[in-house]
């Protein structure tokens, strides 16, 4: 009797008649049905090849996840076991490793006091040997009696000596002769014009006003012109179209130089080029020391070196010297916003007579360019501006204002949150205030949550509104101006 290989089912025999095999075939089919039914039951108890599980279906998974830290968790430096005091440290401090761990300290403290001989400064001995000592210079009275050529020569020597002293001094801009940033008006990253008060056009230049209608705008120089040295590309135009007769009315453009101790107790020279819409229109210039806010700072000292100039309709050079008062005995505020200001006044009511030499309320168009403030008497120099490399100048501007874009792009699920990150290009004067704008988005809303963390890290977190490929662009203005 023949049977199947695996289950031993009886096969029909060729030697028997069909009616004889009928009952045997019925038994075989019943056995086969039972086998198939058993297979069905076993298959029903198996999971599909493609299937999923909820978190609760996996024994112990939820408890294990609850014991883990969130991926979005952030920590302060003081949360680290070997760092202490970082949260309370002032801006500009660095972490220094000690036997007790990492602690904040100023860069000067970390480096320690140290000195250099003149021989250690490349070329300084040779440069000094080529200059006259102060004892070899004529007195001011003797200089007055000498020829114009000798006066110019000795003023140039005094200026050269003051350059060496300026570089040796400490301070934010101690390595730079010209204490103004963007004095050549090369950078206009906020815009080419403004009608609002404050910062809005030329980097580092702030414009305030009251009871006037005025516009600040960028004006182009003709390539190759020689009236203003250094081949500047742009000048700043301050145009007043209406000025109400108001004792408190005014219109000014100023630069606030970080750190009120800058040039304190020193003779300085202010140099600039200017013109107006008609000959004889007056414009005043002053310097001012502000000791900032926070705590009990000393009152501001205004009216330093006040000069009123009568402009012509063509570009001309204007300059003056003055001594910046010492800050000895003064109290600087704790807000880290003290400054020395150079202020150009274009209109001023009688409340400001002492600060402007009685400039008065007026309308008119004024252009200024190539502005510098340097230590010492530089009136004997043809151009004391002392330009820096454009990349260096831009980096100085970025200490106070930066623009950048951060981008997210990827597959997203509706309702889930996704983070975009970016970095500021340079460290800023203080934690900046951010203005964020959503310029493009897909499967995300236009609302932003842009923020700046410790260091230069920028982030924006948004929740997806759809599923698929999603993206968003966030343009950020970071402002740390004084």
Mean pLDDT is lowest, of 30-39, 326-335, 351-360, 391-400, for: 30-39
pLDDT of residue 28: 79
Residue 386, domain member (yes or no): yes
Domain match, 462 and 367 both: no
Residue 366 pLDDT exceeds 90? yes
Domain match, 351 and 257 both: yes
Contact 371, 181 (CB under 8 A): no
Mean pLDDT is lowest, of 172-186, 194-208, 352-366, for: 172-186
Average pLDDT value over all residues in the chain: 87
Residue 222 pLDDT exceeds 90? yes
Residue 273, judged by CB atoms within 10 A of its CB (0-12, 13-18, 19+), counts as buried
At 113, list the tokens.
Answer: 């006091």
The more confident residue out of 206 and 166 is: 206
Q: What is the 3-state secondary structure (H, E, C) of 79-96?
A: HCCCECCCCCCCCCCEEE
Cα 43 off chain centre by: 66
Sign of the CA dihedral 371, 376, 382, 386?
negative
Domain match, 355 and 467 both: no
Residue 479 three-state SS: strand
Sign of the CA dihedral 394, 397, 398, 402?
negative
pLDDT of residue 168: 44
Domain match, 308 and 189 both: yes
Q: Average pLDDT, stretch 20-38?
A: 81
CATH number for position 413: 2.60.40
The more confident residue out of 246 and 120 is: 246
Q: Average pLDDT, stretch 223-248?
A: 96
Residue 272, judged by CB atoms within 10 A of its CB (0-12, 13-18, 19+), counts as buried
DSSP states along 58-76: STTHHHHHHTSPPTT----
Helix residue ranges, H only, 281-414 = 353-356, 390-398
Residue 463, domain member (yes or no): yes
* pLDDT 10s digits, 287-346: 999 999 999 999 999 999 999 999 999 999 999 999 999 999 999 999 999 999 999 999
Residue 391, domain member (yes or no): yes
**Cβ of 335: how many Cβ atoms within 10 Å?**
14
Q: What's the pLDDT band for 146 if we cut at 50, 70, 90?
A: low
Contact 240, 364 (CB under 8 A): yes
Q: How far apart are CA 21 and CA 28, in angstroms?
A: 11
Residue 151 pLDDT exceeds 50? no
Question: In the listed set 376, 398, 420, which residue is the last one of a domain according to the structure?
Answer: 398
Structural domain including 181 reads 177-398
Domain match, 388 and 406 both: no
**What Cα–Cα distance (Å) separates residue 455 from each residue in 76, 172, 389, 430?**
12, 20, 26, 11
Domain match, 364 and 475 both: no
* pLDDT 10s digits, 97-140: 876 787 776 565 555 545 667 777 777 777 777 765 655 555 55
pLDDT of residue 167: 46
Domain match, 207 and 311 both: yes
Q: Average pLDDT, stretch 370-379?
A: 97
Q: How far apart are CA 160 and CA 169, in angstroms?
A: 15
Q: How far apart are CA 143 and CA 380, in angstroms?
A: 13
Number of compact structural domains in the chain: 2
Q: How far apart are CA 68 and CA 64, in angstroms?
A: 7
Domain match, 368 and 463 both: no
Q: Which DSSP letter does residue 119 get?
A: G
Domain match, 286 and 367 both: yes
Domain match, 373 and 413 both: no
Q: How far apart are CA 57 and CA 78, in angstroms?
A: 40
Contact 407, 420 (CB under 8 A): yes
| Edge-to-edge strand ranges of the sheet holding 212-220 | 193-194, 212-220, 234-243, 364-375, 267-276, 316-323
**Most confidently predicted of 34-48, 422-436, 452-466:** 422-436
Q: What is the 3-state secondary structure (H, E, C) of 297-319?
A: CCCCEEEEEEEEEEECCCCEEEE
Q: What's the pLDDT band for 381 if we cut at 50, 70, 90?
A: very high
Question: In the listed set 340, 373, 398, which residue is the last one of a domain according to the structure?
Answer: 398
Q: Average pLDDT, stretch 182-191?
A: 98
Percent of the chain with pLDDT over 90: 61
Give residues with Cβ within 8 angstroms of 159, minimum separation 6: 374, 376, 377, 378, 380, 381, 384
pLDDT of residue 73: 82
Residue 89 pLDDT exceeds 70? no
Domain match, 412 and 465 both: yes
Domain match, 410 and 328 both: no
Q: Closest by alpha carbon to 290, among 251, 319, 264?
A: 264
Q: What's the pLDDT band for 392 if we cut at 50, 70, 90?
A: very high
Residue 214 pLDDT exceeds 60? yes
Residue 365, domain member (yes or no): yes
Q: Average pLDDT, stretch 444-450?
A: 91
Mean pLDDT is lowest, of 41-50, 111-120, 188-197, 212-221, for: 111-120
């Amino acid at each position: 009797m023949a049977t199947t290989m695996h289950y031993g089912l009886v096969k029909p025999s060729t030697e028997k008649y069909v009616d004889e095999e009928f009952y045997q075939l019925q038994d075989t089919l019943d056995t086969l049905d039972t086998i198939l039914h058993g297979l069905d039951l076993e298959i029903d108890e198996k999971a599909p090849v493609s299937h999923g599980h909820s978190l609760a279906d996996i024994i112990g998974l939820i408890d294990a996840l609850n014991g883990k830290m969130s991926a979005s968790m952030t920590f302060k430096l003081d949360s680290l076991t070997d760092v202490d005091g970082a949260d309370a440290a002032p801006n500009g401090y660095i972490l220094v490793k000690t036997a007790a761990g990492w602690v904040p300290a100023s860069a000067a403290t970390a480096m320690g006091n140290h000195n250099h001989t003149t021989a250690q400064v490349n070329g300084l001995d040779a440069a000094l040997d080529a200059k006259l000592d102060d004892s070899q210079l004529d007195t001011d009275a003797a200089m007055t009696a000498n020829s114009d050529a000798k006066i110019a020569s000795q003023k140039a020597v005094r200026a050269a000596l003051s350059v060496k002293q300026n570089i040796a001094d400490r301070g934010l801009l101690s390595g730079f002769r010209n204490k103004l940033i963007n004095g050549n008006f090369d950078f206009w990253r906020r815009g080419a014009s403004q009608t609002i008060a404050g910062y809005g056009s030329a980097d580092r230049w702030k414009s305030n006003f009251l009871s006037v209608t005025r516009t600040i705008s960028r004006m182009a120089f003709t390539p190759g012109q020689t009236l203003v040295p250094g081949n500047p590309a742009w000048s700043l135009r301050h145009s007043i179209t209406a000025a109400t007769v108001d004792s408190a009315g005014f219109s000014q453009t100023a630069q606030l130089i970080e750190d009120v101790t800058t040039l304190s107790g020193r003779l300085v020279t202010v140099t600039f080029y200017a013109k107006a819409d008609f000959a004889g229109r007056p414009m005043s210039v002053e310097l001012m020391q502000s000791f900032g806010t926070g705590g009990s700072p000393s009152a501001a000292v205004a009216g330093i070196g006040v000069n009123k100039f009568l402009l012509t309709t063509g570009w001309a050079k204007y300059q003056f010297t003055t001594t910046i008062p010492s800050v000895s005995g003064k109290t600087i505020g704790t807000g880290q916003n003290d400054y020395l200001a150079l202020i150009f006044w274009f209109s001023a009511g009688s409340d400001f007579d002492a600060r402007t030499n009685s400039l008065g309320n007026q309308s008119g168009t004024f252009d200024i360019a190539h502005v510098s403030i340097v230590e010492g008497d530089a009136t004997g120099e043809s151009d004391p501006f002392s330009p820096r490399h454009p990349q260096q100048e831009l980096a100085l501007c970025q200490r106070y204002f930066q623009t950048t874009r951060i981008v997210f792009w990827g597959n997203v699920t509706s309702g889930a949150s996704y983070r975009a990150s970016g970095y500021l290009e340079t460290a800023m004067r203080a934690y900046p205030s951010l203005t964020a704008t959503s310029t493009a988005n897909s499967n995300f809303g236009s609302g932003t949550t842009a923020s700046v963390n410790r260091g230069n890290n920028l982030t924006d977190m948004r929740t997806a509104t759809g599923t698929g490929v999603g993206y968003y662009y966030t343009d950020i203005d970071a402002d740390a101006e004084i």
